[in-house]
């Protein structure tokens, strides 16, 4: 999900650049005040977990990481080959028209070398990398929580389970007192960033109804998420009840316990209760002191283990629905991810292949799991699909879903599940579970509930990778503007837009991880992709950047109807997104858009992977925001898998919609690479790959398709896309132009065939007649001019 600033300084979608700068300056000022102790607060500032106590109650405060040096340059020793694509000019020549038929595509074993070397996961991790990433200190391991969160952040706890003694207004009601909830653009709307009491006294409280007997073990607190306000709780008490009438305080020996709260608005502060914690149904958080220039505001999560109710004869109904799939549902750090991927390849060696596309700044490899019936090879006519997760390291759900997906496909393929078997045999699938492994390790060390909203989002160098790809939108729109002003289409391009030269220089601030993904895109002819994020529940589609730098504006691509179909396929099959009774995650109600939205109409993003993929390659890419909770607790993972399983599968199947075919030389039957495929009325072309095969994603309908290639006469066909899940085969055979044939024959030292000799004689005679006519016209004009004078 989009957010701003370093050090957990947040902003909301659509915020202006000036507002972001104002927030950054304000945040820097307040942080400096805190460090200097002007309000009696002290921050450790070293990025480590520190333990404090008030009345000997165990309280853990997780502080933000140190800000990275934004001037650090990335390692630019990585090759930048193949980053300058040739400029393409539009063609619209039309020749013969033939209607294509819809048939099931035949199997073929012709292959092209679109592959990376196999990774041997039996090899250990480089010792230098291991020392750099893992210091072997106790604080490097995430804190083990005895009981999971009740689910305020994940929305498992409903709004009706939250009450408060008072609240200022609806936007600051108890339903907003959820850990990591994000405020709207302006204070004062219905989507503010905390519960805030109406009165400033020690009698205010936020109450949570667990609905079942629960052994409460702790509370996590944050201050208010706000651009303009600075509100957080310094100390608080906790009470328990079974009926909301009689309340028992949390005790520390013979005295009522007072817990230490926050030192800023964003850093989560954990308080753990003693071993004799009370079993109850209700819990109240009762603030005792707060930031002196602020008011009583907080966001919270409650930790507790639910117990069976002996008085409930319907106890079986209390069991939460999980999943029947036997998968490894836990969070996997880099080492554990390697082990899991290795176990999948050992279980299914015939359909899996692990390779690395590069290394992170800290030296962690970016592993990809390939799944296909012929792993390591591109089969003629078989589309290439990819899922990318972990672009923002702290958005961990996508990472785990892809690890679950590779396990699931392996298991179901072995069991003979025909849907999975067909998908594996007809698609080459690539799964990149962690694009930002450095960021993930930072968040993982703090733990799912204590990482806050932004820790681990950026690369180790402080780069947001979803703003780090080349901005090809500007190149395209500048060309359109030039054409409009000069009536010159020579610079007009709509696909395979070359990467600007400045972006490929050694001084370009481009993350190594971004460079690796771009190289991956250029080496494998991907057709369809999705980029898995977290922190919201919505599917976004290109363009992600507005043309005039407006904060938000609907900016569709020429393929807008198909992108909307792709987004709808995922959103409508996702069990949470499609639930009409769900509440908004933070500050946008995407249900009014059917849970899909044009990316630029949410918030403008320069240099997104989706826009780059569409404008620089043949691949269509969307962003899936998977969950309100960026880093859900491990106990939530089985439910999240069930929520997303069907969506993940059906979205992959969309790679078989539209047209496919092979473009060949009519004389030699050799495939023609780099041929341009133009669909009439859609101002976005694609190109054929090395063996001449191509895939054009399209909705059902009848299309006029023109194919052109250098040295060949263009060819046009009518191709009809049907509603079946199989693509329409629309092959083309191109004939060489006489000039091209002449070049090839003369280059080989051969003799011209009679048809070419006759054609050449006709061309020369035609040229002679034209030149003679031009000379005679000039002489006649000169003669008339002389007589007139």
Which residues belong to the active site? Answer: 625
Q: Encoding tokens for residue 689?
A: 């790959």
- Angstrom distance (rounded) from CA 448 to CA 631: 5
Please, which residues bridge with residue 529 across strands? 386, 621
Distance of CA 460 to the CA centre of its chain: 18
- Angstrom distance (rounded) from CA 395 to CA 452: 11
478 CB burial (10 A radius; 0-12, 13-18, 19+) = exposed
SS3 (DSSP) at 250: coil
The secondary structure of the chain in percent helix, strand, coil, rounded to multiples of 5, reads 30, 20, 50
Nearest to 341 by CA among 378, 376, 371: 371
Q: Encoding tokens for residue 34?
A: 């805190």
Residue 260, H or E segment: strand 259-260
Four-point Cα dihedral 514, 520, 521, 522, nearest 10: 110
- 183 within 8 A of 12, measured Cβ to Cβ: yes
Q: What are the C-alpha distances in Å from 744 to residues 301, 747, 760?
A: 73, 5, 15
- 530 within 8 A of 380, measured Cβ to Cβ: no
Q: Encoding tokens for residue 491?
A: 């610079």
SS3 (DSSP) at 780: helix
Given the DSSP bridges, would you call strands 538-541 and 620-625 parallel, antiparallel or unpaired? antiparallel
- Angstrom distance (rounded) from CA 211 to CA 282: 8
SS3 (DSSP) at 256: strand
- Angstrom distance (rounded) from CA 720 to CA 775: 51
SS3 (DSSP) at 657: coil
Four-point Cα dihedral 13, 46, 38, 294, nearest 10: 30
- Angstrom distance (rounded) from CA 785 to CA 789: 6
Given the DSSP bridges, would you call strands 384-389 and 526-533 parallel, antiparallel or unpaired? parallel
- Angstrom distance (rounded) from CA 437 to CA 337: 11
Nearest to 465 by CA among 437, 428, 446: 437
Distance of CA 251 to the CA centre of its chain: 46
């Amino acid at each position: 999900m989009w957010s701003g600033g370093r050090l957990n300084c947040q902003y909301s979608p659509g915020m202006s650049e000036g507002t972001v700068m104002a927030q950054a300056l304000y945040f820097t000022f307040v942080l400096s005040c805190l460090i200097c102790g002007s309000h009696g607060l002290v921050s450790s500032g070293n990025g480590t977990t520190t333990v404090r106590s008030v009345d000997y109650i165990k309280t853990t405060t997780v502080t933000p990481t140190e800000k990275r040096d934004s001037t650090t340059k990335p390692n630019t020793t990585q090759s930048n080959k193949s980053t300058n694509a040739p400029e393409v000019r539009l063609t619209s020549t039309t020749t013969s028209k033939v209607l294509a038929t819809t048939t099931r595509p035949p199997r073929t074993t012709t292959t092209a070398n679109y592959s990376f070397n196999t990774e041997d996961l039996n090899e250990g991790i480089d010792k230098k990398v291991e020392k750099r990433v893992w210091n072997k200190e106790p604080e490097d391991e995430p804190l083990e929580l005895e009981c999971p969160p009740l689910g305020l952040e994940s929305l498992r706890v409903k709004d009706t389970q939250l009450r408060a003694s008072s609240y200022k207004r609806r936007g600051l009601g108890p339903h907003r007192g959820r850990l990591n909830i994000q405020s709207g653009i302006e204070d004062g709307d219905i989507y503010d960033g905390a519960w805030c009491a109406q009165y400033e006294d020690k009698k205010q409280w936020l109450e949570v109804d667990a609905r079942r007997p629960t052994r409460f073990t702790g509370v996590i607190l944050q201050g208010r998420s706000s651009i303009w306000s600075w509100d957080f709780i310094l100390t608080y008490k906790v009470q328990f009840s079974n009926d909301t009438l009689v309340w028992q305080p949390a005790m520390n020996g013979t005295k009522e316990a007072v817990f230490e709260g926050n030192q800023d608005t964003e850093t989560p502060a954990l308080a753990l209760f003693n071993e004799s914690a009370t079993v109850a149904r209700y819990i109240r958080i009762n603030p005792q002191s707060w930031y002196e220039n602020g008011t009583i505001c907080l966001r919270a999560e409650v930790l507790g283990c639910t117990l069976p109710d002996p008085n409930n004869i319907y106890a079986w109904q209390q069991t939460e629905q999980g999943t029947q799939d036997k998968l490894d549902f836990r969070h996997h750090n880099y080492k554990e991810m390697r082990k899991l991927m290795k176990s999948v390849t050992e279980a299914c060696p015939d359909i899996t292949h692990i390779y690395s596309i590069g290394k992170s700044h800290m030296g962690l490899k970016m592993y990809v799991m390939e799944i296909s019936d012929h792993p390591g090879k591109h089969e003629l006519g078989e589309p290439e699909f990819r899922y990318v997760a972990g672009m923002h390291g702290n958005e961990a759900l996508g990472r785990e879903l892809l690890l679950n997906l590779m396990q699931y496909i392996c298991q179901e393929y072995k069991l003979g599940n025909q849907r999975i078997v067909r998908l594996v045999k007809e698609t080459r699938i690539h799964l990149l579970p962690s694009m930002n492994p450095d960021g993930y390790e930072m968040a993982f060390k703090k733990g799912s509930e204590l990482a806050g909203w932004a820790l681990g989002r950026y690369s180790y160098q402080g780069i947001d990778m979803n703003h780090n790809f080349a901005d090809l939108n500007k190149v395209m729109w500048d060309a359109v503007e030039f054409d409009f002003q000069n009536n010159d289409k020579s610079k007009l391009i709509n696909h395979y837009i070359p990467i600007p030269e400045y972006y490929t220089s050694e001084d370009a601030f481009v993350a190594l991880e971004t460079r690796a993904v771009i190289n991956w895109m250029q080496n494998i002819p991907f057709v369809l992709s999705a980029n898995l994020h977290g922190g919201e529940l919505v599917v976004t589609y290109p363009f992600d950047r507005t043309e005039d730098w407006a904060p938000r504006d609907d900016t569709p691509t020429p393929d807008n109807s198909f992108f909307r179909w792709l987004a709808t396929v995922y959103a409508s099959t996702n069990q949470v997104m499609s639930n009409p009774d769900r509440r908004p995650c933070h500050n946008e109600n995407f249900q009014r858009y059917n849970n899909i939205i044009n990316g630029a109409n949410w918030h403008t993003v320069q240099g997104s992977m989706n826009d780059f993929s569409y404008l620089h390659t043949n691949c269509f890419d969307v962003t899936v925001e998977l969950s309100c909770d960026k880093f859900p607790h491990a106990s939530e993972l089985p439910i999240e898998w069930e929520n997303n399983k069907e969506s993940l599968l059906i979205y992959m199947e969309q790679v078989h919609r539209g047209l496919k075919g092979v473009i060949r030389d009519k004389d030699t039957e050799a495939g023609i690479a780099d041929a341009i495929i133009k669909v009439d009325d859609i101002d976005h072309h694609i190109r054929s790959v090395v063996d001449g095969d191509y895939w054009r994603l399209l909705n059902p309908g009848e299309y006029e398709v023109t194919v052109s290639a250098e040295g060949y006469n263009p060819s046009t066909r009518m191709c009809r896309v049907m509603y079946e899940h199989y693509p329409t085969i629309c092959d083309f055979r191109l004939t060489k132009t006489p000039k091209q044939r002449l070049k090839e024959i003369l280059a080989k030292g051969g003799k011209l065939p009679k048809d070419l000799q006759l054609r050449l004689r006709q061309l020369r005679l035609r040229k002679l007649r034209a030149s003679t006519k031009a000379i005679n016209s000039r002489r006649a004009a000169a003669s008339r001019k002389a007589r007139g004078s």
